[in-house]
A and B are shown apart, each in its own frame.
Chain A
Amino acid sequence: MGLQAYLTLAATVFCIGLFGVLTRRNTIGILLGIELMLNAVNINLVAFARFSGSATGLIFTIFTICITVSEAAVGLALVILLFRVRRTVMADHLDLLKG
């Protein structure tokens, strides 16, 4: 399969993740959408590395995977803290800054 096929697949997964981020009400659901989007970016990086014959894309993918995992850990800890303070994880109810 050509590079185009992989890039199109990654774009599709990225847009599905974006849809999840935009429409989910639950904060954890939004985080799942973000995971999907970052995952699609990883597919892009690995595909470019394969088709350009350079290992740099693979190394960059390792970095993005590690940063994603850190992001998930801190994000979910924030969700738990938020739940402890506000007793809700629904993004619609978290509107203190609206005034």
Chain B
Amino acid sequence: MTIPGFDVLAFWLLSAMLVGSALAVVLSKNLFHAVLWLALALTGTAGVFLLLHAEFLAAVQLLLYAGGVITIVVFAIVVTERLIGERIWQTNRGIFFGALASATLLWLITSTLMERSLPVTPLPALGDVTRIVGERVLTTFVLPFELLAVLMLAAMLAAMYFARPEE
């Protein structure tokens, strides 16, 4: 990452990819295509994480989101579309008010951001981010970490209970 201007170029390329695929997720008529665009958007987010020197999070993002979530969404689409034989085409409703609400929120956030003076240059990298995160998770944040394990167990049991085969 020592090439001057590399960060800027990579940021704009990733931004274009992320915004473009996010728009495709919410606008494409075919639900399967929307899921594939979501996979691209999540991969772009992993690229942004790499740009911010969070390599571990980029790997987690790719494994959990682009691998796991996309797979279960595809399963859900297959299961819910198979029986009724309805096409996976879908439409949007209330586009005008949806766009109005989103654009208003975006305007509010960006105008607030413009008023503040935010740091322009990142601080020097923390060093081995993966090691630091691992140490902090098992010392300072060990209680939330264990609670997270309980939550994931509960979520897994709930998902299996809801989706169990009919007696």
CB distance A23 to B162 under 8 Å? Answer: no
Chain A, 49-78, contact with B by CB distance < 8 Å: what is the 0/1 string? 111110110110111011111111110111
Q: How many residues of B contact A (CB 8 A)?
A: 84
Chain B binding surface, main DSSP class: helix
Any A CB within 8 A of the CB of B1:
no
Residue in chain A with minimal CB distance to B121: A2
Q: Mark A70-89, 1 if CB is under 8 A from B, else 0.
A: 11111011111101100111
- Quick one: given A2-B120, A19-B98, A51-B123, are A59 and B133 in contact (CB under 8 Å)? yes
A79 to B80, CA, bound (A): 8
A36 to B: closest C-beta gap in Å: 6
- In the complex, how many angstroms separate the beta carbon of A24 from the nearest chain B beta carbon? 6
Q: List the A residue with the shortest CB-CB distance to B106.
A: A15
Counting contact residues on chain A (CB < 8 A from B), the size range is 35 or more
* Contact status of A25 and B123, CB under 8 A, knowing A16-B19, A55-B133: no
Residues of B36-72 whose CB lies within 8 A of A: 38, 41-42, 45, 48-49, 52-54, 56-57, 60-61, 64-65, 68-69, 72
**B15 contacts across to A, CB distance below 8 A:** 9
Number of A-B contacts (CB under 8 A): 230
Residue in B68, B106, B151 whose CB lies within 8 Å of A12: B106
Interface mask (A1-27 → B, CB under 8 Å = 1, otherwise 0)? 111111111011111111110111110
Asked, given contacts A23-B94, A84-B166, whether A16 binds B80 with beta carbons under 8 Å apart, the answer is no
Q: Name the B residues within 8 Å of A28 (CB-CB).
A: 31, 73, 76-77, 80
**Is the beta-carbon distance between B162 and A81 smaller than 8 angstroms?**
yes
Which of A1, A4, A9, A63 meets B7, CB within 8 Å?
A: A1
A20 near B25 with CB under 8 A, answer: yes
Contacts of B42 in A (CB 8 A): 35, 39
Which residues from B are CB-within-8-Å of A62?
57, 60, 133, 137
On whether the beta carbons of B136 and A4 are closer than 8 Å, the reply is: no
Which residue from chain A places its CB closest to the CB of B109 in the assembled complex?
Answer: A11
Minimum-distance CB pairs A-B, first 4: A20-B26, A70-B155, A22-B98, A53-B123
Binding site for A on B (CB under 8 A): 7-8, 11, 15, 18-19, 22-23, 25-26, 31, 34-35, 38, 41-42, 45, 48-49, 52-54, 56-57, 60-61, 64-65, 68-69, 72-73, 75-77, 79-80, 83-84, 90-95, 97-99, 101-103, 105-106, 109-110, 113-114, 118-124, 126, 129, 132-133, 136-137, 141, 144, 148, 151-152, 154-156, 158-160, 162-163, 166
